[in-house]
Every structure is written in C-alpha cells, then in structure tokens.
Amino acid sequence: MSKNPALHNNMGVDYVIVFKYATTDKAQAEQRLEEMLERLSGAGLATEVRKGDDHSLLVFIKVGSKEHMQAEIYRNRVKDWIHGVRSVEPAMDTEKSLEQDPLTEAERLRTIHGLITHVRSEGGAGITPQKGKWQNVESVFALHDHAYNKEWIKKWSTQYLLKPEDLDEIRDRMGEKIAFYFAFTQAYFTFLAVPAGFGLFSWLFLGYFSPWYGIVASLWSVVFVEWWTHQEQDLAVRWGVKNVSGIDEKRKEFTPKHLVDDPITGEQMRIFPARDRLQRQLLQIPFVIAAVLILGTLISTCFAIEVFISEVYSGPLKSVLTFLPTLILTTGLPFLSGILTKAANSLTDFENYETEAQYERSLTSKTFVLNFITSYLSLCLTSFVYVPFGSVIVPYLDVFSVTVKPFADNAQQLETPDNASQFDINPARLRKQVIYFTVTAQIVNFAMEVIVPYLKRQGLIKFKQMQTKRTEKKTGIPLPSAAAFDPEGESDFLARVRNEAEMEVYDVYGDLKEMVVQFGYLTMFSVVWPLAPVSFLINNWIELRSDAVKICVECRRPTPWRADTIGPWLDALGFMSWMGSLTMAALVYMFSNDGLGPDGKPSDITGWALLLSIFVSEHLYLATRWLVRTSISKIDTPGRQKERRMNFVTRQKLMKESLEQTRMVPPPGEKADEITRRSLEEDARQGSLHDASPREKFWDRQRGWKEAAKMGRLFIERDEGDVSDEKVKKEL
C-alpha cells in the first residue's frame, strides 16, 4: 500500500462530505445537493463531486477563498477572546494575528469545519450532518494524512515513554479533546509505576490482602486524582484552551418552552425554565433504580446459578451447564445494557439541555451508573455476599434445582440438602474473578476493540464482493461499481476515500471510559491481587499505541474538537477513589486471616470491627484528600505562571489605556498666611460679622495645610501640664 503515491497525497482535499440519496426522492436529492454546493461556494469553499459507494456522492472540499478563511479565523479568535480563552484581543489584521499565533493543523481543520457547519449569518454554509434538512449529508470528515500517520505509529511503537512534545503534536493535529485523552492515559500510565512496583513487592513479600498495599494504593489514588485535576488546568493553559468549556455550544435539538423578548437587548430569548428541567431530571431516580434492579437481578441470578452449578449441583450435564451463566450473561447483559443506554439517551434528550456540555455531562453520569453496575457488581457480590455469607445463603440456591430438573435422571440427584448445608465456600473464587477482570478482560477488550473490527471490515468487503458477483450472475449484466465512474488517474485515491468514508467515528469518550473503569478495579479491588497494577501497566502501554493505530487505520480522521478537561469522568475517578477507601478497608479486614477470608459464616466477622475499619479508613481518606488537594493547589506550575503573567500584562495594558487620559490633578493652591493672634481674631470678627454657619466657621479656621500644620505644632509644643489652660487659650 505504501508504495502508491496517491496514498500520501490527498489532492489538496480538506474535507469530504458523504451525500447519501438512497432513501430520498431523486428530484429532492438533486435540489438538496445543488443547495448544498451553492452554500459551500458561498462560504468560500471549492467543491468537486465524485461517485461514492451505495448510492452516495463524495463532495470534496478545499478552501477556495483566503478571505473567507481569514474572516472565520478572526471570528473564532474574537469569540475566544470574549470568553476569556485568549487573554489578548486578536489583531484586526488576520495575517498579523497568524504571524503572532500560527494556525495549527487542528485549528485549520476546525476552522474549515466551522465554515461548513456554522450558520450562514456567522459566515458558514450551515450544513449540519443528519440534522434538519441535511438528512442526506451522512458525514463530514477530513482525510487521513497517511504519511504522517505512518511516522506517528512508528515513532510511538519504538518509544517507551511519551514526551510532552508528543502530546503537543497530537494536540496540534487531532485537537485538544483527543490530546486530553492521550495525556490522561499517559499520566495514568506513568503514575501506575508506583502501585505496580509496590504491588509486585507486596505480592512477593506481604501476601494478599496486605493493609500496607491497601494504604499505598489508596494514597496513590488520591494523589493521582488530585494531581490530574491540577495538571489538567495546567495543560489547558499550555494548549491555550482554558475556559473553552465556557463557550456554550448551543444544542440544535433544544426546544424552548417559551420565547421571551429580552427587555434590554430586544433579542429573542429561548427559555426553558430550570424548574421544568429539574422535574424531568427527577426521572433519573427511577431510571437509576430500574437500572440497578434490572442489571442487578441479571448479574446476581447468573452469579447464583454459577455458584449453584459449580459448587452445589452434582447432577448430570454439569460440564455443559457450567457455561449456562456465562451464556446468559454474554447475551443478556449487552442486550439489557443496550436498552438501558437507549433509555438513558432518551431521558437525556427529554431533559432538554440548552448546551452540548450540559447534555454530555448528564449523559455521562447515566453511562457511569450503568458501567459501574456491570463492571463491579459481581466482584461486590463475591466479596461482600458470597465469601462472608456463603454458607448461609448458598443452601437456598436449591431453588435452581427446579430449573435443572429436566436434565436430572432421577430425583435422587437433586436431593442434596446434606451437601448444601455442609457447603464450603471457595476462597480462591474472589482472586480468580479479580484476575479475570484485570487480565483476561483487558485482553479480550483489546481484541474486541482492535482485532475484531478489522476482521469484521475485511469480512464485510468480501461479503459485498460475493453479493455483487451473485447478482451479476443472476442478471447477467455486471453491476456498475462506483469505481467505474472514476476519472483517469484518480481511482486509487477515490478508492481510499470510499474506504475512509465507511470507517467508524472515533469515540474518545469510550476509550476514556475504559481507563476509568480500569482505575476502578485498581482502587476498589486490587488489594485482592496486588499484581493487578502490573497487568494494567503493561496493558496501558499497549493501549496507548493501539488507540493510535485505531485512529489511523480503523476510524475516520476525527474532527479536532477542543476541550479543557476530561470532563465528567474526572468526578467518576474521584468517586471511585473514595469508594476504594471503603471496599479496600472492608476487604483487608475480612480477609486478614491469611487471605482466606471468612469461611462463609457471618459469625466470624465482628460487625463493629468491620464498620470501624471502614469508618476510620474513609475518614482518613477524606482528611488525606483534603490535605493533598490543599497542598497540590498551592504548587506553582509553568501553566499557572504563564496564566498569571498574561493576566497581569492584560490588566496593565487596560489600566494604562484607561487611565492615561486622567492627568494628575494639581494640588489645590495654598494661602499660607502667618497665624497671628490678630488674624485669628479677625477671622472671629469676620465670622460673627458674616453670620457664617458653624460649619463654615469650622473649616475657615485654618487656611491650607500649612496653617493646619502650624496649629498642630503649637498644640504639640504647648502640651504640658505647666501652664494653665486659661493661659494657653489666651495665647492662641
């Protein structure tokens, strides 16, 4: 592939629009296409149309007019300045502004994306993919820079650690949102060295369930979360995106309840009362309860069945039945999760947020709840139900024998009350489960993420080819493939574009979610098996690289969005770090007997000791967090220094500009007459003559500061007990 020069050459194309007309009436599609092309041209973009796959057109776009581009850059930069993202007003002359602050690849692409999607009143073409009247516009994407991608992957795969410059480069090309994901994962990876090292030590010398390991891991999680919160802001300053999340991108789906004319600006405001939204948000409570019940029931049932089959049941078909719970889980869980995710989406839609940021935040919190249950519930069941209460609960699992009745040869096999009551828990189950989640699941996940999609796409291509051939065989005429219309010398290039058009959209939040879930295993359960962080360390080294490969090979080139934070996931990290202080303490306490844990009879556990360890651990955690947070917030970083300096310069400049017209007012003139008895007496006379008010008299006694000073000196000098007040009075 790399030998073909077309792959390195994007023909100067900036963006590609995929225009589908499969489901639309032809005349309408043509009219829409025409309107779209006209609008793009109006926004200063040059276009070329080519044939795409599956009843689609590929509309190629490049910047046609430098003026439009510069106007858009200027508009964007002014907007940034107004929202406090830039501290200095951009120069009116965009050429100059670009000299001071050159355009990165990411800003360039974002600007062109803006030209395509922004409303026309703001100078864009107003093309909104799959929304409103642009249902035909399936996607808008930039083409991969294959030469760069190749170099990128080559560099990363031969480099142990990513340097800040590597992250800067991602930011320059992919935008800050993706750069934040890589920066976070890299920071997490680097930090992991500590628990991995201590975990290995702990595994070798301290054994499982070591309280020391628990303390180190918990402390580590606090420091990491607080450090990242701080580092994030620093990165935002470094990348010049601080306050970007304050630029509220309005959601097009927002439907106001009523329109109000603002009394001051006269502008029409789209209002949706907060009270109404709050009422709708209350639906989150039943949603969460339902999610917990539905997913919880499924997971607990499967868990119970598994325990029953593997540890109680001794009937026929045991080897087959063992796979039953796994089967139920792997089919049922994605199905139910899918339904609940859809419900979460609908609910968030219904909550009718005004801005994208609010929408995303609300959706993330719901996603987090679903993920929390699916990821950690079964481990919680093993730790806090199966191990401590196993012997009490497991005998009741006999209910399931009804289910297995059809498989039983005779009733005898099912009557195993003796067996059940003498049931012994399997202390290795918890560790096995943790190993599964921290090693096996990570590998499976990697496969699902990188390898399976690749195979799937290859299979799809094969399948299509076969289908075409079959149709051709049936009709006798060869079907016209899109490539048949390709002008000479463009077929390789167009084939590649068609290929990229079929790729997935890169979902940076999905990848971030994965890291957050992994962090949860570490903070909440790694005390069970202290090698978990070692596994994560290895996994994340690969993950960082495989995500780069994924972006390059399996996804369309992502639009370089900006961000100044990893968003609501940060709260999730904090929450799980907190939960960790509870679960780790409980696990350490319960399993402190050589890591075997209680024998399944709850009498082994002293309630007050368990609660006390949790209580103490949690409060130590909270106190430590407060301390760490306070300390970290005081550390001065290059980003903060830069920010402070920029603020100072801006303020200085504004102050100077504003104040330069206020000249220093000259001090008021002075009449420094000698204070003599005569002049004072004269004053008194004049006072009585003019019948001045007491106030006028008061302020007339001393004229100018020199007289006041003389009077003061007199008072100071005569301040002795050796003269009668009468005498002094006379002298004055």
Please state the φ and ψ torsions of residue 565, each to the nearest 5 degrees: -170, 165
Closest distance to a second copy from the beta carbon of 74 (Å):
6
Structure tokens at 634: 């005081």
Can you count the helices (H) and strands (E) in the chain? 29, 6
Q: Which is nearer to a second copy, 158 or 661 (CB)?
A: 661
Residue 139 — φ and ψ, nearest 5°? -160, 160
Q: Which of 49, 327, 428, 460 binds a second copy (CB under 8 A)?
A: 49
Task: Compare residues 165 and 636 and give the one whose CB is closer to a second copy.
Answer: 636
| Least spacing, CB of residue 31 vs a second copy, in Å | 9
To a second copy, the closest distance from the beta carbon of 485 in angstroms equals 6
Are 494 and 504 within 8 A, CB to CB? Answer: no
| Residue of 7, 53, 71, 280 interacting with a second copy (CB under 8 A) | 71
* Cα within 13 Å of Cα(100), Cβ side: 11
For residues 558 and 505, give the distance between their C-alpha atoms in angstroms, rounded to a whole number: 7
Q: Which long-range contacts (CB under 8 A, 24 or more apart) does 246-250 make?
A: 246/83, 246/84, 246/85, 247/79, 247/80, 247/83, 247/85, 248/354, 248/355, 248/356, 248/357, 249/355, 249/356, 249/357, 250/354, 250/355, 250/356
The token duo for 256 is: 């106001």
Q: Where are the beta strands (DSSP E) in 105-192?
A: 137-141
Q: Does 266 bind a second copy (CB under 8 A)?
A: no
126 is an interface residue for a second copy by CB under 8 A: no
Q: Is 99 in the site for a second copy (CB under 8 A)?
A: no
Is 151 among the residues that bind a second copy (CB under 8 A)? no
Output the smallest distance, CB 369 to a second copy, in A: 14
User: Which of residues 102, 259, 319, 608 is near a second copy by CB under 8 A?
Assistant: 608
Instruction: List, in order, residues 6 or more apart from 79 with CB less than 8 Å away.
Output: 247
Strands of 7-111 (E only): list them. Answer: 15-20, 45-52, 56-63
User: Which residues from 298-317 bind a second copy, rule CB under 8 A?
Assistant: none
CB of 68 to a second copy, least distance (A): 5
Region near a second copy per CB under 8 A, out of 274-282, 366-374, 519-527, 538-546: 274-282
CB of 150 to a second copy, least distance (A): 20
Part of the chain binding a second copy (CB under 8 A), chosen from 261-269, 336-344, 425-433, 590-598: 261-269
Q: DSSP strand E in 4-55: where? A: 15-20, 45-52
CA–CA separation, 381 vs 329, rounded Å? 15
What is the distance, to the nearest Å, from the Cα of residue 30 to the centroid of all Cα atoms in its chain?
Answer: 40
Dihedral pair phi/psi, residue 45, rounded to 5°: -110, 135
Among 78, 450, 503, 549, binds a second copy (CB under 8 A): 78
Residue 123 interacting with a second copy (CB under 8 A): yes
Q: Could you tell me the two tokens for 121?
A: 């009143």
Q: Applying CB under 8 A, what is the total number of residues that bind a second copy? A: 123
Write out the binding residues for a second copy, residues 5-44 only, by CB under 8 A: 6, 9, 11-12, 19, 21, 26, 29-30, 33-34, 37-38, 40-42, 44
User: Which residues have CB under 8 Å from 454's CB, separation 6+?
Assistant: 553, 554
Q: How far is the CB of 352 from a second copy (least distance, A)?
A: 13
Give the Cα separation of 30 and 50 in Å (integer): 14
Which residues inside 644-663 make contact with a second copy, applying CB under 8 A? Answer: 645, 648-649, 651-652, 654-655, 658-659, 661-662
Shortest distance (Å) from residue 48 CB to a second copy: 5
Residue 59 interacts with a second copy (CB under 8 A): yes or no: yes
Q: Among the candidate windows 142-150, 399-407, 593-601, 723-731, which touches a second copy by CB under 8 A?
A: 723-731
- Of 47 and 426, nearer to a second copy (C-beta) is 47
Instruction: Find the binding residues for a second copy in span 442-501 (CB under 8 A).
Output: 471, 475, 477-481, 484-485, 487-490, 493
- Per CB under 8 A, does 402 bind a second copy? no
Query: What string marks each residue from 672 to 691 as x (binds a second copy by CB under 8 A) or -?
Result: ------------x-------
708 in contact with a second copy (CB under 8 A): yes
Tell me: does residue 432 bind a second copy (CB under 8 A). Answer: no
> Where do the DSSP E strands lie in 121-204?
137-141
Please, what is the minimum distance in Å from the beta carbon of residue 105 to a second copy? Answer: 18
Is 431:528 a contact under the CB 8 Å cutoff?
yes
* Pairwise CA distance, residues 114 & 220, whole Å: 42
Is residue 283 close enough to count as binding a second copy by CB under 8 A? no
SS3 of residue 16 by DSSP: strand
155 or 727, CB closer to a second copy? 727
CB 477 → a second copy: shortest distance, Å? 6
- The structure tokens listed for 34 are 């025409």
Q: Which spans in 635-676 are helix H?
A: 638-659
H helices of 502-565, in order, are 508-525, 532-549
Closest distance of CB 606 from a second copy, Å: 7
Q: Does residue 238 touch a second copy according to CB under 8 A?
A: no
* Contact flag: residue 724 with a second copy (CB under 8 A): yes
Q: Is 290 in the site for a second copy (CB under 8 A)?
A: no
Q: Does 292 bind a second copy (CB under 8 A)?
A: no
Amino acid occupying residue 540: N
In the numeric block, which tokens belong to residue 263? 């009394």
Using CB under 8 A as the binding rule, whether residue 712 contacts a second copy is answered as: yes
C-alpha span between 698 and 398 (Å, rounded): 103
Q: In terms of CB distance, is 343 or 610 closer to a second copy?
A: 610
Q: Which stretch binds a second copy (CB under 8 A): 250-258, 275-283, 309-317, 505-513?
A: 275-283
Verify binding: residue 610, a second copy, rule CB under 8 A.
yes
Structure tokens that stand for 528 in this block: 């069970």
Q: Does 273 bind a second copy (CB under 8 A)?
A: yes
Query: CB of 264: closest distance to a second copy in angstroms?
Result: 6
CA dihedral 672, 674, 676, 682 (to 10 degrees): -50
Q: What share of the chain is helix, strand, coil (3-state, %, to 5)?
A: 70, 5, 25
Least distance between a second copy and beta carbon 604 (Å): 14
Residue from 64, 129, 197, 296 touching a second copy (CB under 8 A): that is 64
